[in-house]
Structure 1
């Protein structure tokens, strides 16, 4: 599958100085080659306007050091029914208080939902994760009132974004109805928590700012 993102794409929506890259020597030896290339050349956004917040534990000085492992998370022992080897996954940051973690071997990205103590699939790869962040920043003027006073149709934009994201990586949307769907029940007593990306798209639908 062709790569979805590169440095120039990310720089078109994030300031170059806000894209954090790491030295290859500071990444684990077992890391997937494609993931390694993205972390060393493309970078992760460290921009306060983004839905993604880079893990502060990455910085112990003036330059990025190393990612924390999941075994270093507080309440690590409370997680249950977790995939084998998850303790060695890398902590990338958070989206809406859901911890975003990376399996360095497979390259898959997972969410550890706030208060659930379990794992959910977030993206098939770091590439599609970055692509989702790219799309959200690209379209920010259409849903963020702090960026633009003219928000013609954020509801239609949320629907369009979800479709583009699903086409690029269907994994996080499998079997999940959009928050705004009449068929969805996210507010009932027994309702499941809203998945991470659908929570973000709900913000787009309702507008930000």
Structure 2
């Protein structure tokens, strides 16, 4: 579905304190780079490419400061304009919406993120083939919620925003 050239693996670095299941998934299964999800290495930030939350906050010239306990959280990439990072202890994927200082737990783990990206790709592919948009969105919601309800729990999550845009014909 994604093609081998669109799967990005995250090597385990010495000193990277990721919980074991998260580290194993990222280094062996990886995450699909899609139209909606730009992996950290693809975002076009000049060298050096920050791999942690703290330096990404430091790039911004505004009033937001990275919480000290989160400075070393690994950055995964961007779900459109929302930065996705991993809580290294729990493995939960947090989302920092553009211009927001606080995060939202978007996925219970990286496997849930990969599942959601794959289901979203299926939705877009079926819609491109002329499928009924409302029915496809319903199927997407059901599949995602049965696997992990957290991506769709908050009405302002990036997933819900993208679904609303699809229903409004913006995709």
Q: Tell me, what secondary structure is at the counterpart of 1:100?
A: strand
Report the equivalent of 2:7. 19
Number of equivalences: 167
Return the match for 2:81 from 97, 112, 125.
Answer: 97
Contact 2:18–2:88 (Cα < 8 Å) also in 1: yes
Please give the residue correspondences for 1:75-86 in structure 2 after superposition, counting only pairs within 5 Å: 75=60, 78-79=63-64, 85-86=69-70
Q: Tell me, what secondary structure is at the counterpart of 1:139?
A: helix
Contact 2:137–2:163 (Cα < 8 Å) also in 1: yes
Q: Write the distance in 2 (CA, Å) between the matches of 1:32 and 1:79.
A: 27
Q: Measured at CA, do residues 97 and 153 of structure 1 come closer, stay the same or move farther in structure 2, by a change above 3 Å?
A: same
Contact 1:98–1:111 (Cα < 8 Å) also in 2: yes
The runs of 5 or more residues in structure 1 that have no matched partner are: 1-12, 178-193
Q: How far off is 1:207 after superposition?
A: 4.6
Q: How far off is 1:152 after superposition?
A: 2.8
Report the equivalent of 2:21. 34
Does 1:155 find its partner at 2:134?
yes
Contact 1:98–1:112 (Cα < 8 Å) also in 2: yes
Does 1:111 find its partner at 2:95?
yes
Q: Which has the larger radius of gyration?
A: 1
Tell me the alpha carbon deviations over residues 55-108 of structure 1, each in whole angstroms, 9 at most, x when there is no partner: 137999xxxx986111101238733695x7211111111112111111122100
Report the equivalent of 2:33. 46
Contact 1:51–1:200 (Cα < 8 Å) also in 2: no
Tell me the alpha carbon deviations over residues 31-69 of structure 1, each in whole angstroms, 9 at most, x when there is no partner: 11111111111112234xx31111137999xxxx98611
Q: TM-score, normalised by structure 1?
A: 0.69
The runs of 5 or more residues in structure 2 that have no matched partner are: none
CA RMSD of aligned residues (A): 2.9
Return the match for 1:199 from 153, 161, 169.
Answer: 161
Tell me the alpha carbon deviations over residues 2-51 of structure 1, each in whole angstroms, 9 at most, x when there is no partner: xxxxxxxxxxx111121111333x2643111111111111112234xx31
Q: TM-score, normalised by structure 2?
A: 0.82
